[in-house]
Amino acid sequence: MENYRYKKVIEDLLALADVQIGGSRPWDIQVLNEGLYKRALSQGSIGLGEAYMDGWWDSPNLDQFFYKVLSAGLEKEFKNWRLVWGYLKAVVLNLQNRSRSFRVVDKHYDIGNNLYSNMLGPTMVYTCGYWAGAKNLEEAQEAKMDLVCRKIGLRQGMKILDIGCGFGSFMKFAVKKYGATAVGISISKEQIKFGKELCQGLPIEFKFLDYRDIRGEFDRVVSIGMLEAVGYKNFRLFMKVVSDCLKDDGLFLLHTIGNNFSRKIGDPWLNKYIFPNGLLPSLALLTKATEGLFILEDLHNFGQDYDKTLLAWFNNFSSNWPVIKKDYDERFSRMWKYYLLSCAGIFRARQAQLWQMVFSKHGLLGGYQSVR
């Protein structure tokens, strides 16, 4: 009888999103363990995600299920004491200090280059592609890298700093197409190892370095998909570091996933399994962090393109799973599927954004001409 009540609550909530339990539509869910209802209600995001990893429920079209649920605002119904405790920790502690910043590397970025090479494709770019005019993932990623270069007015001989440089793909593109030189910093040993091989013979330097320790002077600075790991307590420090190493007439491009609201903690399941202590910034938090340091010259939102990017990554992951699975188990496969497709649903529902922001230190004389 108790479980019936839990099930009825879940059924009524899902009905608000036009989702049925046991339905035949692609976004409906199939419950394989009746314990799901209590687990989801009592544990919220963590319970729902872990139950999926354990095979307690499924959906033929997981990304569309999340789109339906998030568009209806049902995530507000699953808040619980774990979220409250997470908020208190975020306020009291600096979850992205030097020692804790390595957790996301160990948990996510250093779990195997074989996984990423089979998921990301030949460009090895692990950030949102730019799909305007692109026919496939490779074209979308090359278009994004070219867009960044054009936005910062990159020219031959300029020296770029790439903060959180990933596998070095952007630096390789910028150096080969625009004749720049580049320095990339990262705290992922596996990415640096891969990047040095990818960029061999090019005027590109990789440094195993925390952003707080950056020194030097650069014509252009980019940070593409790294700010999400910085944390709200460190946004101002991050911007100060960039300002200190950027020439007075330089430009800084920030590419980051963004939140519609100012929050101090991220999603509990994503924080536990994918991005420990990750936090999506809001525009309010970013503009406050840049006050007195930068002039915002341009803001471009193409968050809808992350939906397509994530689906392309999932298709690669799924089709290459026979090659990838020698290093992982079935529970990891379900976890990774849940990660990629739930995030696709988040962007489709416009609950998260993708911003590219161009900053100057003093404002460009005559103004900045937006590039798209």
Q: Active-site residue numbers?
A: 343
**What would the two tokens of residue 331 be?**
């529970």
Computed from CA positions of residues 345, 324, 268, 86, in that sequence, does the dihedral angle turn out positive or negative?
Answer: negative
Q: Which helix (H) or strand (E) holds 183?
A: strand 181-186
What are the residue ranges of helices labelled H in 60-187?
Answer: 62-71, 81-92, 102-104, 113-120, 137-151, 169-178
What are the residue ranges of helices labelled H in the chain?
Answer: 2-16, 36-53, 62-71, 81-92, 102-104, 113-120, 137-151, 169-178, 189-198, 235-245, 268-273, 283-290, 304-319, 321-324, 330-348
Which positions ≥6 away from 341 have C-beta within 8 Å? 62, 63, 66, 310, 311, 314
Burial class (CB in 10 A: 0-12, 13-18, 19+), 134: middle
CB 261 within 8 A of CB 239: no
End-to-end CA separation in angstroms for the chain: 58
3-class DSSP state of 148: helix
Distance CA 58, CA 27 (A): 10
Q: 188-218 burial by CB neighbour count: b if 16+ within 10 A, else e? A: bebbbebbeebbeeeebebbebebeebeeeb
